[in-house]
Copies of this chain bind each other. A is one copy, B any other.
């Protein structure tokens, strides 16, 4: 029996930007592209944490422009394909997408909140017309049932998406959750299905294994787990685990371990770890990128940051709804006051 082949897409230089408030440097981009290329990583994703065109005062400014990041990456990736995270809300077709096509991006991962596939229609269409590859990405996918995810994924497929990735943006999944959703998608779609994990509950690696066992053929993972909150699925661990389980990634084990050493020297902070607040955000099912504004609101209103996270979870808060943080914090402060009276 031939080994099952898994396509690894590596967002170290994109999701990792979340871990350093989008301050990855030119040197970081170059050093890691070279290391990933040497190890045989199939897709290297780069850019602002929130993707193309997202650099802004509100979301956080990148220290390097999209244009320069793409030029640096393109110059240092030959066998590895160049990938890009694209959220239609942040980027325009005329300005951002067309330039990224010109810059030679190979794979465009067009992303939407898990129930809002509709917004990806024109972007996916544009990329396919430009002759580049377009994946559809459903973010915060734990907030939708398997049936709803399939419905949304089918929309993306109908727009021309050549693969569907579901993201566990909050690190909230357990392996059984992944198995259920991935099998539903694999059964219901004609295109490949992928999984993007976060490690808030220590499940990123096993969730990725569950995804593959359920039929997924694309897995996202970052070196040292470098990424938002508790970090992503740790790439070099996954390569080792897949090698043991008999899945083929095409990535050289020793060279990806070398890349981890290079990342250890290049990036600051280095290895991802599971902090108390990221555990709570995983349990609550809230994007852990909220940690900083939540901590601030906790201090401002003298309430427990963990209570804020659980409150946000109850309200199904998603990225972009940062104002809910203040609302929840204020409610908690008022409740406390009421209890004192």
By a beta-carbon cutoff of 8 Å, the part of chain A in contact with chain B is 174-175, 201-206, 224-225, 234, 236-238, 240-241, 243-245, 254, 257-258, 260-261, 264, 270-276, 279-280, 282-283, 304, 306
A225 to B260, CA, bound (A): 20
- Residue contact A254 to B306, C-beta cutoff 8 Å: yes
Q: Choose among B202, B240, B272 the residue that contacts A237 (Cβ–Cβ < 8 A).
A: B202
Measured between C-beta atoms, what is the minimum distance from A226 to chain B in Å?
11
Query: What are 18 A-B contacts with C-beta separation under 8 Å?
Result: A174-B244, A174-B245, A202-B202, A202-B241, A203-B205, A224-B273, A225-B273, A236-B276, A240-B279, A240-B280, A240-B282, A244-B283, A254-B306, A257-B280, A257-B306, A258-B276, A271-B275, A273-B273
A117 to B225, CA, bound (A): 39
A258 to B205, CA, bound (A): 26
Q: Choose among B201, B258, B270, B272 the residue that contacts A241 (Cβ–Cβ < 8 A).
A: B201
Residues from chain B with Cβ under 8 Å of A238 in the complex: 202
Q: Say how many copies of this protein the assembly contains.
A: 2
- Residue contact B279 to A237, C-beta cutoff 8 Å: yes
Across the A-B interface, the 10 shortest Cβ-Cβ residue pairs = A271-B273, A202-B205, A257-B276, A206-B206, A202-B237, A260-B276, A240-B279, A240-B283, A237-B274, A201-B241
Residues from chain B with Cβ under 8 Å of A264 in the complex: 275
- Residue contact A201 to B276, C-beta cutoff 8 Å: no
A190 to B319, CA, bound (A): 51
Residues from chain B with Cβ under 8 Å of A273 in the complex: 224-225, 270-273
Most B CB within 10 A of own CB, among A225, A237, A240: A237
Residues from chain B with Cβ under 8 Å of A234 in the complex: 202, 274
A203 to B279, CA, bound (A): 17
Q: Select from chain B the residue with minimum beta-carbon distance to A200.
A: B237
Residues from chain B with Cβ under 8 Å of A175 in the complex: 206
Residues from chain B with Cβ under 8 Å of A261 in the complex: 276
Residues from chain B with Cβ under 8 Å of A283 in the complex: 240, 243-244
